[in-house]
């Protein structure tokens, strides 16, 4: 496990972090987002989606469990889907019955989960991003959980620096 702390003084900084995360994402990767209301989880996901070349506007799934984005700009180097979950409205006990593992096994796309603190079960390997309020600003802590996410995190750190 390795951790990396980032100051996010502006919306643009959050967007740039999402761009770095997406640029080095691979199919089968899992990004678990943790943090209070309004800390920037959806903003970060939207930036990740843009860097994957996804054309549709990314909105948090509110009435469905997952939004699947499969359409990419034809010149985008990334052409794998984004599966975007938001567990806000769920109790932890419910998250076990969702069949989430189907999304993070099989290397089909990138799985992004808002309110991942609700999960009882985790992927074998995942990148955790915890977002915090810092006055009007935000901070993030990125933590890798496994070999693949450690490699991913190293690429994100060099992209950010």
Ligand X SMILES: Nc1ncnc2c1ncn2[C@@H]1O[C@H](COP(=O)(O)OP(=O)(O)OP(=O)(O)O)[C@@H](O)[C@H]1O
Which residues contact ligand X by CB under 6 A?
A: 8, 10-11, 13-14, 35, 37-43, 60, 114, 137-138
Residue 60 contacts Mg ion per CB under 5 A: yes
Closest distance of CB 79 from ligand X, Å: 25
Residue 42 contacts Mg ion per CB under 5 A: yes
Buried b (16+ CB within 10 A) or exposed e, 86-96: bbeebeeeebe
What does 43 bind: Mg ion, ligand X, none (CB cut-off 5 to 8 Å by kind)? ligand X
Closer CB to ligand X, residue 39 or residue 144? Answer: 39
Closest distance of CB 53 from ligand X, Å: 20
Closer CB to Mg ion, residue 42 or residue 79? Answer: 42
Residue 35, class by beta-carbon neighbours within 10 Å (0-12 exposed, 13-18 middle, 19+ buried)?
A: buried
Q: Which residue has the tokens 């991942």?
A: 116
Instruction: Name the CA radius of gyration of the chain, rounded.
Output: 14
Residues in the chain: 161
């Amino acid at each position: 496990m390795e951790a990396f702390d980032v100051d996010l003084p502006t919306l643009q900084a959050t967007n740039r972090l999402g761009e770095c995360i997406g640029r080095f994402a691979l199919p089968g990767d899992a990004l678990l987002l943790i943090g209070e209301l309004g800390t920037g989880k959806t903003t970060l996901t939207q930036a990740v989606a843009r860097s994957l070349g996804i054309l549709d506007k990314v909105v948090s799934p509110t009435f469905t469990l997952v939004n699947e984005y499969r359409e990419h700009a034809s010149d985008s180097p990334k052409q794998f889907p984004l599966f975007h979950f938001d567990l806000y409205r769920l109790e932890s006990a419910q998250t076990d019955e969702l069949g989430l593992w189907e999304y993070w096994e099989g290397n089909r796309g990138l799985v992004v989960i808002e309110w991942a603190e609700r999960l009882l079960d985790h992927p074998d390997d995942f990148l955790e991003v915890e977002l915090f309020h810092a006055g009007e600003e935000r901070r993030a802590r990125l933590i890798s959980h496994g070999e693949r996410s450690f490699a991913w995190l190293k690429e994100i750190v060099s992209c950010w620096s």
